Chain A
Amino acid sequence: MSELMLTLFNGASLGSILLLIALGLAITFGLMNVINMAHGELIMIGAYVTYVMQNLFISYLPSQYFDFYFILAIPVALLVAAGFGMIMEFSLIRFLYKRPLDSLLATWGVGLMLQQLARSIFGAPNVGVKSPSFLNGGLEVGTLLLPYSRLFILGLSITCLIGIYYYFYRTASGRRVRAVMQNRQMAECLGVSTRKVDLLTFAIGSGFAGVAGCAITLLGAIGPALGTSYIIDAFMVVVVGGVGALFGAVAGAFGIGFFNTAFEYLTNASIGKVLIFLLIIAFLQWRPSGLVTSRSRSLD
């Protein structure tokens, strides 16, 4: 029984990580149809921002405030990654909206450049980030121990999701974004500045990649090539969830998370990965456009 519970929790936890890394992509790729291969590097930027914040706190603040670095790193990572996203959109992506294949190659190149930038600044070896003390240990539920860091990521991804939902569906600015993505000409006719909306949307998507990077420092290695280990998962979640459907990504992330954990528990990590890919291929045969289908301007 407790093993089943633990597997369920681990599935939810993996799902929340997948959701967090895919949320930004669900916006840039899902809504805007930019195949952004540099998404992984935006995640990496978020992770390095956390590292820099940690070092700043160690150097300039008394040690009792150390734990706050992580809380502060989240919004800073969001802003820095969003800034990088804006620069990318303004200098490159906006010329490529009608040429998706070119944008794939161009963003991949940007990704390589960002990796090299990180290497030049921080060096090639991995860097260490110390988890804040309030995330050490775990919550005991019966015989189970649920790590606080996992619970934190679960909470963070739900918070991000609520934030995105609120923005897109409850604010005027978010409504404009949806209007532009659904019918650009009509939105332009009604006086929406589509250039501004494009820039803002891409920046938001990039910003959430930064938040994901911040969370990932709790779990794994922080190095210049960090992004490459997550980019495939991110695309997988968005494609399974349904391109253009934000909430498809939620179903996709948790679906993949649960199945992956279950397969891995029943077999082993390598076979589990194979099984999950087989399942996704079979699923896409059955529903080629993903779990949640939606119509947007470029899908017509």
Chain B
Amino acid sequence: MRNRKNYLLLIVMGLLFSVLVACSAADNAAGASEPEESDPETTDEGSSETEGEASGEESDTIKVGILHSLSGTMAISETSVRDSELLAIKEINANGGVLGKQIEPVIEDGASDWPTFAEKAKKLLQQDEVATIFGGWTSASRKAMLPVVEENNGLLWYPVQYEGMEASPNIFYTGAAPNQQIVPAVSWLLENRGTKFFLLGSDYVFPRTANAAIKAQLEADGGELIGEEYTPLGHTDYNTIIAKIKSEQPEVIFNTLNGDSNVAFFKQLKDAGISTDDLTVLSVSVAEEEIKGIGADVIEGHLTSWNYYQTTDTPENEEFVAAYKAEYGDDAVTADPIEAGYFGVYLWAAAVEAAGTTDVDAVKEAAKGIEFDAPGGPVKVDGDNQHVYKTVRIGEVRSDGQIDELWNSGEPLKPDPYLEGYDWASDLSEALSQ
């Protein structure tokens, strides 16, 4: 009898253990407010921290911090942003550096753990005395670094689109604000693809915040909300939701699913016989890199909304893609956050040149209105909220996994993180920024 009790205890422990493992994975991902974590539990064995320990003479170099997750859940997405930032630094150094000095990157690993981001940011600012930090991906990591950079009057360049409702004086946001990705996508869909919307997202803060805004916009612009579903992160079975989609027959699915769930959803949608003739799926968390894992044949013809695609037709992009591939191999693809990380470094360098010093307040002042021809088109720093003017691009996935642009906003849109320019969002921004 005693044996039996022990035995059952073991089973319970075994289960508990596995639940814990899964929970910690889910927690990591749940903290992530941004798209593109395609793969939980990812450690990139290729990432080394040696690059930062080069040359010694302080006077000839300007130290900058690079703080991304190089291990853990988010490494899969963040290592490529680190790569593009290092590429930008390398290019700037080859052209003589800034203020005649070489830029020396100090690379730290945020380890997909939000307190670690705060700790490393503190280390970079206080110990290494870096001029600025490039880093972060998830909103959770940004929110962890925010008080640190504000307290130490440091600088942070944050490269990922996010849910808005924030504007720290010590952070420059080079990713899209909601009005530069989600809002125009909804307007475009209403005009071109239909008014019956079905919202599908992973069950955490980013999709729920984004969908709250979308619902307000639909109500104001004459759209119809047919259904709204959330699934836990890492959900693998979409049969039931697809059954609901079939019976409710939306014209548009607005997809804010994150990570591996996208693969399951698109594969099962295709198996269920639903094609792009029946409805349009627009995703805001699927870029070139994710498409490789989903399979281009499965997602072909569906839409995405970003500010940059590898196919974006500018001379700067041609050079950027060539340089990126030369550095990281022919199989490497570029994507929106990779581009945002890249031009963030250039914006900072231009601001430093303009200020004539790396002093944070002077650089912030000089950064106002500074412009740069980024691979995704011209960008300009907005002096009020330190976000960036960017061109919105809606694209369609091709059979080779690249994305063709269907529409763009024509000119860079002014960033509006609090959605102040939209009447329908007036109640929303108050409710959400709390």
Name the distance in Å between A202's Cβ and chain B's nearest Cβ. Answer: 17
CB-CB < 8 A to B240: which residues of A?
7, 10, 261, 264-265, 269, 272
A235 touches B38 (CB 8 A): no
Name the distance in Å between A58's Cβ and chain B's nearest Cβ. Answer: 13
B43 touches A119 (CB 8 A): yes
CB-CB < 8 A to B273: which residues of A?
137-138, 145, 147
A126 touches B232 (CB 8 A): no
Answer yes or no: B45 CB below 8 A from chain A CBs: yes
A170 to B212, CA, bound (A): 60
A298 touches B3 (CB 8 A): yes
Q: Which residues of chain A from 262 to 300 have a CB within 8 Å of any chain B CB?
A: 264-265, 268-270, 272-273, 288-289, 298-300
A101 touches B268 (CB 8 A): no
Residue pairs across A and B with Cβ atoms less than 8 A apart, 26 shown, are: A3-B243, A7-B240, A14-B239, A37-B17, A100-B7, A115-B41, A119-B42, A120-B45, A125-B292, A126-B292, A127-B293, A129-B295, A130-B297, A137-B273, A147-B272, A150-B271, A219-B267, A225-B41, A228-B40, A231-B18, A231-B22, A232-B18, A265-B243, A269-B235, A269-B241, A270-B232
Answer yes or no: B166 CB below 8 A from chain A CBs: no
Q: Which residues of chain B from 36 to 94 have a CB within 8 Å of any chain A CB?
A: 38-45, 75-76
Picked from B19, B75, B234, B236, the residue with its CB within 8 Å of the CB of A124 is B75
Answer yes or no: B429 CB below 8 A from chain A CBs: no
Name the distance in Å between A136's Cβ and chain B's nearest Cβ. Answer: 8
A108 touches B8 (CB 8 A): no
The digit string for A100-114, where 1 denotes a CB below 8 A from any CB of B, is 110010001000000
Q: Which residues of chain A from 184 to 223 have a CB within 8 Å of any chain B CB?
A: 218-223
The verdict on A14 contacting B267 (CB below 8 Å), with A124-B76, A225-B40, A270-B230 known, is: no
A229 touches B18 (CB 8 A): no
B3 touches A300 (CB 8 A): yes
B239 touches A232 (CB 8 A): no
CB-CB < 8 A to A131: which residues of B?
267, 271
The digit string for A122-166, where 1 denotes a CB below 8 A from any CB of B, is 001111111100011110000001011110000000000000000
A147 touches B42 (CB 8 A): no
A272 to B240, CA, bound (A): 11
Answer yes or no: A76 CB below 8 A from chain B CBs: no
Answer yes or no: B95 CB below 8 A from chain A CBs: no
How many residues of chain B have a CB within 8 Å of chain A? 58
Name the distance in Å between B21's Cβ and chain A's nearest Cβ. Answer: 6
Known: A14-B239, A136-B270. 10 other contacts (CB 8 A): A7-B240, A13-B239, A145-B273, A150-B271, A221-B38, A223-B293, A225-B25, A229-B22, A232-B19, A264-B241
CB-CB < 8 A to A270: which residues of B?
203, 230-232
Name the distance in Å between B112's Cβ and chain A's nearest Cβ. Answer: 12
Answer yes or no: B325 CB below 8 A from chain A CBs: no
Answer yes or no: A49 CB below 8 A from chain B CBs: no
CB-CB < 8 A to B75: which residues of A?
124
Answer yes or no: B400 CB below 8 A from chain A CBs: no
B295 touches A235 (CB 8 A): no
CB-CB < 8 A to A220: which residues of B?
236, 260, 263-264, 267
Name the distance in Å between B378's Cβ and chain A's nearest Cβ. Answer: 31
Q: Which residues of chain B from 331 to 384 have a CB within 8 Å of any chain A CB?
A: none
The digit string for B201-237, where 1 denotes a CB below 8 A from any CB of A, is 0010000000000000000000000000111101111
Name the distance in Å between A79's Cβ and chain B's nearest Cβ. Answer: 26
A124 touches B39 (CB 8 A): yes
CB-CB < 8 A to B14: which residues of A?
35, 37, 104, 235
Q: Which 5 A-B pairs have the closest CB atoms?
A: A126-B293, A221-B263, A128-B295, A147-B271, A221-B260
B17 touches A288 (CB 8 A): no
Picked from B13, B45, B292, the residue with its CB within 8 Å of the CB of A116 is B45
CB-CB < 8 A to A35: which residues of B?
10-11, 14
A10 to B14, CA, bound (A): 29
Answer yes or no: A93 CB below 8 A from chain B CBs: no
A125 touches B260 (CB 8 A): no
A228 to B236, CA, bound (A): 12
Answer yes or no: B247 CB below 8 A from chain A CBs: yes
Closest residue on chain B to residue A138 by CB atoms: B273
The verdict on A125 contacting B17 (CB below 8 Å), with A13-B239, A147-B272 known, is: no
The verdict on A37 contacting B18 (CB below 8 Å), with A104-B10, A223-B260 known, is: yes
B293 touches A125 (CB 8 A): yes
Answer yes or no: A53 CB below 8 A from chain B CBs: no
Kindly name the residue among A128, A131, A236 whose own CB sees the greatest number of chain B CB atoms within 10 A. A128
The verdict on A224 contacting B237 (CB below 8 Å), with A104-B17, A128-B293, A243-B11 known, is: no
CB-CB < 8 A to B43: which residues of A?
116, 119, 124
Picked from B45, B234, B267, B293, the residue with its CB within 8 Å of the CB of A229 is B234
B292 touches A269 (CB 8 A): no
The digit string for A32-46, where 1 denotes a CB below 8 A from any CB of B, is 010101000000000
CB-CB < 8 A to B234: which residues of A?
229
The verdict on A299 contacting B271 (CB below 8 Å), with A125-B39, A231-B18 known, is: no
A298 touches B244 (CB 8 A): no
Name the distance in Å between B20's Cβ and chain A's nearest Cβ. Answer: 10
B243 touches A10 (CB 8 A): yes
CB-CB < 8 A to A136: which residues of B?
270-271
Kindly name the residue among A10, A219, A231, A265 whose own CB sees the greatest number of chain B CB atoms within 10 A. A219
Answer yes or no: A181 CB below 8 A from chain B CBs: no
A10 to B247, CA, bound (A): 14
The verdict on A126 contacting B239 (CB below 8 Å), with A3-B247, A108-B17, A222-B293 known, is: no
Name the distance in Å between A98's Cβ and chain B's nearest Cβ. Answer: 11
Answer yes or no: B160 CB below 8 A from chain A CBs: no
Answer yes or no: A72 CB below 8 A from chain B CBs: no
Answer yes or no: A17 CB below 8 A from chain B CBs: yes
Name the distance in Å between B254's Cβ and chain A's nearest Cβ. Answer: 16
A120 to B297, CA, bound (A): 26
A288 to B44, CA, bound (A): 42
Answer yes or no: A92 CB below 8 A from chain B CBs: no
Name the distance in Å between A227's Cβ and chain B's nearest Cβ. Answer: 10
Closest residue on chain A to residue B41 by CB atoms: A225
A224 touches B292 (CB 8 A): no
Name the distance in Å between B111's Cβ and chain A's nearest Cβ. Answer: 15
Closest residue on chain B to residue A257 by CB atoms: B237
Answer yes or no: A6 CB below 8 A from chain B CBs: yes
